[in-house]
Amino acid sequence: MTNFSADIASLFKFSTGTLTVTSMLICTAVSLVIGLAIAFVFSRGEKTSKGFMLTLTVLPAIVQMVIMLVNGDVGTGVAVMGAFGLVRFRSVPGSAKEICAIFLAMAAGLACATQHLAAALIFTAVICIAALVMSKVFPSSVSGEKMLKITIPESLDYSGAFDDLFGKYTKSAELDEVKTSNMGSLFKLTYTIVLKDSSKEKQLIDELRERNGNLEISCGRPVASERL
């Protein structure tokens, strides 16, 4: 009975050198603050899912705990977290900004795990400030973009079929996808457009309907893929 109690008690003891409950809680708190700052900065001006923001918030703390559990062996910890990191991009491609945010969160978590809290805070602050400055210097070009989907009969050659209307109503129009439908009798075209005047969207759709034989047309904001 005594041995059993000792075994149970040993499960709740820290065996990682100088690691204590207090130091672990302090490191975890700093990791969460850093993660929250990264999520806030890298989601500004972007259509970001709640899942991705939650991931950025808790990722530094997760990385920190993994490194602590492998007794500070950074090589083993990086290998484990690298494998988990690859899972995030196995199906939905991540943007360059998302990849940067994830690597920043992992780097901050590594710094917190080795108890270099000042370095983690300073490094995160510098990178976040740089990201904010760059977002001002090079603003996102996707503002005002809309996804336009046009269904046309197979007899209509879509190459340049709507160029005059796009030149009249849009600042830019790019054909992103062509898809056949209804056993090949219809084509579904997907464009990314930026309207010159958003109040004339209905006029554009009305003229497109005359051109495509009054088949289905939809226009709306690009749908942000659900991340993580």
pLDDT tens for 145-198 read: 889 999 999 988 888 889 999 999 998 899 989 999 888 889 999 999 988 888
Calculate the CA 182 to chain-centre distance: 34
Query: What φ, ψ does residue 153 adopt, rounded to 5°?
Result: -75, 155
Domain boundaries, the chain: 18-137, 145-220
SS3 assignment, position 179:
strand
Q: What is the pLDDT of residue 129?
A: 92
The fold of the 145-220 domain, in CATH, is Alpha-Beta Plaits (3.30.70)
* pLDDT attached to residue 34: 94
- DSSP letter (8 states) at residue 221: P
Sort 10 into a burial class: Cβ within 10 Å, 0-12 / 13-18 / 19+.
exposed
What is the four-CA torsion angle of 122, 128, 132, 137, rounded to 10 degrees? 80
Q: Are 175 and 190 in contact (CB under 8 A)?
A: yes
- Can you list the residues of the chain whose pLDDT is less than 70? 1-19, 45-47, 71-94, 139-143, 223-228
The answer to whether the pTM exceeds 0.85 is no
Give pLDDT, residue 90: 47
pLDDT in the model for residue 146? 87
To which H or E segment does residue 9 belong? helix 2-11
Q: What's the DSSP call for residue 2?
A: H
Phi, psi of 100 (to 5 degrees): -60, -45
DSSP 109-176: HHHHHTT-HHHHHHHHHHHHHHHHHHHHHS--TTTTEEEEEEEEETTS--TTTTHHHHHHHEEEEEEE
Give the full edge-to-edge strand order of the sheet including 145-153.
170-181, 186-195, 145-153, 217-220
